[in-house]
Structure 1
Amino acid sequence: MDKHKAIPQGYMTVGEIAKKMDVTVRTLQHYDTQGLLSPSAMSEGGRRLYTDKDIVKLHQVLSLKHLGFSLNDIKNRLIPLDTPAEIADILMEQAAALRQKIESLSESLRELEVLREEVLQMQSVDFKKYADIIVNLQMKNDFYWLIKHFDDQTLDHIRSHFDKDSGMAFMNTFMQLQNEAIRLQNANVPADSDEGQNFAKAYWDMITDFTGGDMSMLPRLIALGQFQNTDHKWQEVQTIANGYVEQALGVYFSRLGVDPFQRGSEEETE
C-alpha cells in the first residue's frame, strides 16, 4: 500500500503505461536511455513516472515506428522538423524506402517458391546446388533450373572458373549461338560453307572458354542441351540447334585434322 501511495495522482508507473500501450517495460526503458521518451518524473524510490502527455508522445513514436521509421529517424529527423512540407518530404522518402523493401521481399518470396519447386525435382539433398540456384535467381538468370542437372564436377568447374558476370556472359553467348544454329539450319545454310564454318569457330571458341583447356569437360558441356526431363520446348530447340552444331563442328575439325571430342572422352574414362 505504501508503495502505491508514493505515486502522485495523475502519474503512472512504467509497468502501468507499458500495459496500457501494449509495449514492454524494457522498450520504455530503451526509449528513455535513447532520449526519445523520458518520464515526466521520478518517484522517491527512483521509479519512472509518466503522465497522459507521455502517453500521447509514446503513441506518436509507436505510430511512426509502425511506418518503418527507426528510432534514430524519429528522434533526429522527424521530431525536429517545423513545417508540413518538411515532414511530407521525409514521409515520401520513407514511402520510397518501403516500396523498395516490398519489392525485395516480393523477389525473395518468388525465389523461395521457385527453389521449393527445384528442391522437389532434385533426387537428393544438395545445399551447394540450392545456393547456386539462389545466386542465379538473384542474377535474373532464366536458366537457373539447369543447375539441378549438373554433376558436382561440372558445378565445381563453373564455380572456380566463372563469377557472376562472366557466368552470365557465357550463358548469353551460349544462347546466342544456339539461336544462330537454328537460324542457319532453318535457312539451309550448308555446314561446310564459309558462314557455317565461321559459326563453328565461334562455337568452338565458346567451348574452349568454358573448359579452360580441361578437355574432360567436353562431354559435360555437350550434355547441356541434352538433359532429360527438362522443358519440352527447351529440348526441342536444343535438338534442332545441336543437329547443326554437330555438322558444323564435324567439318571444322575434319579440316583441322583433329578430334577433340574423342580426346575428351578418353580423358573422361581414365
Structure 2
Amino acid sequence: MRLKIGELAKKVGLSVRALHHYDAIGLLSPSQRTDGGARLYGRDDLIRLHRIEALKRFGYSLPDIKASLDGQQAGVPLQILQRQIAELNEQALRAQRLGRHLQYIVDMIAAGGEATATGWLNTLELVNMYQKHLDDDELDALLASGPDTVPPTDPAWGELIDEVRCAVQQALPAESGAAQALAWRWIRLVIRMTCNDPALATKLTMMQLGEPRAQQIAGITAEMLAWIDKVFTHARCALLAKYLSPAQAEEVRRRQFATLKNRAWPALVAELRAHRDAGVDAGATPVQAIVERWQQLFRESFCGDDAVLEARVRDALMREPDLQLGVGLDDSLLAYLHKAYIVGHDMTPANAGPKPSALMVATQRAAHQLLDRPLVLEDPVALTILGAAEAQALRDDIDRFRHPTSVGMRSSVVARSRLADDVWAEAVERGIRQYVVLGAGLDTSAYRHPDAPGRLFEVDLPATQQWKQARLRDTGIAVPPSLHFVPVDFESVGLAEGLARAGFDADAPAIFSWLGVTMYLDEAAVIETLRFIAGCAKGSAVLFEYVMPLSSLPPGMRIAMEQLTAQFAARGEPWKSFFDPAALAETLITLGFSHSNTWTPDELNQRYLENRADGLHIGATPARLVLATV
C-alpha cells in the first residue's frame, strides 16, 4: 500500500507542509515517487512517522529524533532521555516556583484585606525586581514562610519601617536608647528575612539603593538605611564601652565609623560560609587565608596595633552575645572560624612527650620571660627546662606567641602560677613547711625557690615524672634536697600512700597546688583527691583550678571553648570534669573544708595584670581558681 502525501497527512493528523519540512531536513523522506515526482509513502515510512510523532510528544527536538532513528551515534537515545528528563524537571521547578510567587502575592493581598489595583500591581512589580536581582534560590529563601522566617511583607516589617521613617524625620539621636532599640530590631529582622545569608542581604541592599521604585514601594530610602547603619554602629560601641576605658572606647568608635562604609565584612563572611558549606577543611590554605584577612580587618575595625585594646575587645566579644550579631554569623560559622584559627595557631610544641599540656604550659612560661614586661612570674629556669632545642625553637618563632590566643593563654598561666607562689609564701610566713604540687608536669616552683624552707612534693603520673627527671638531668637543673618526687595516678588509689612513702607528715598542715589538672580527670577522682586534702591537718589548704560546664557559658565563649577542647581531645587529653560554682562550694563544705575563696578572671586581672601595655589580660574563660582551707 502506498499513500500520497495528502492521504498520509490526513491519516496521521499532520499538515502537508509539515511533511514537506520533514522531507527537506531528511527526517522522513518517501521511499518512492511517481514518474511525475509525487511522493509515495510505504509501510516502513508510516512506521518511522509514528516513531517521530511518539518522540515529539515526549518533547524531543527534530534533530535529536533524526539522530536517534538513524543511529548516527551510539548512546544517543540514552543521552536524549536523560536530557529530556532534566528539562522536564527544570520545567516543573519553574512552574512550582512561579506558583509559590503567585501564592505569595495572593497571601499578601489576602492579609491586607481588599486589594486595590495599585496595591497588587506594586507587589507584582516588587517581585519582578526581586527576580531581576536575585537568583532562584535566593528568591525562594526571601519569599519562604515558616516560624524562623519573616518575608518582606510581614506586618512586623511595615511597622518597623514606619517607626524608622518617623525617627529619621524627627532626627532621633543615634546615641539614644530608643534609636538603638530600633537598630537591634532591624538587624534581627534582616537576619530572619534573609535566612541569615549575607550575599542575599547585600543584594537586597543594593537593589533598594539602586531601584527608585523599590524605595517607593517598600518605603525604605537610602537615608533610612544610612541612619540604621549609623545607629547600629553606636549600639555596638555602647556594648563594647562597658569593657573599655573612655579613651579605648573612643578609639573603637573612631575605627568603627571609619570603616562604616566598608562592605568588606559581609563579603568576607559570605566567603567563609561558602567554604564551610562546601566542606573545606578548616586547616586548608584558602580558609587560613580568610582567617588572616579576618584578623587584619578585625584590627582595622577595632584596635589597630594596640595589644591591650585588642585583648579587651576580644574579651567583650566573648561575653556579649549581641556583639556577634550580624547577617551570616551563626554558631556553626563561628565554630568553623574558631577551629580554623586554632589549627592555624596551634601552640602544642613538637616532641611534647607523654603530657602535651605540660610542655605547652612550660613553653608559655618561657615565652613570658622573653616577651612580657614587667614580669608577672620571675622564672629563671623556664627556658632551661625546655631543653636547648625547644628553647631555640621558641626564640626562632617568638612571633607566634604574640597572637591573641597565645597571649590569653599565657596570661592565665602566669597569673595562676604567681597566685600559687603568693599562697605558698603566705603559708610559709604562718609557719607551714609542706608544699605539694599535684599534677606537677614541668612545674618549676621548687627550682625557682630552691631555698624555700620545709619539704616540697611533686606528684604526677609515673611516666610524666620519668620524662621530667630526664629533662632535669639533660638540662643540668639541680634538684633541691627538699624536693621529693611522688609517682601517683590520680584515677587510682594511692595519693595518701605515695605521699607517706615520700615523707609527708599527715599530722602537719600542708599547702597543695593543683593547677590545670582537674579538667583532665574524672569527677570521682577529683572529689576523692579533695576528700584526702580535707582530711589533712588543720590549716592545710588547696589552690585548685576547675572549669565550669561549657553549656553555662555565653554563646561566643562556649563555641570557642568547644573548639579548643576538641583540639585537646585530638592530642589525647580530653576534658572530663566540669563543676558548677555553687554546687562545688557546697561539696567543699560537705567534704570538710572550713571555707573557700574563688578568684574570677577579673579579680586576677586587677591583682596581677592591671595597667599593662603588653596585652596580658585574662579574657572570658570558664576556668576558676579556688583556695579551699581545712
Q: TM-score range by the shorter chain?
A: 0.3 to 0.5
State the structure with bigger RCO (CA 8 A, min sep 6), 1 or 2: 1
Q: Tell me the TM-score normalised to structure 2 length.
A: 0.23
Higher helix share: 1
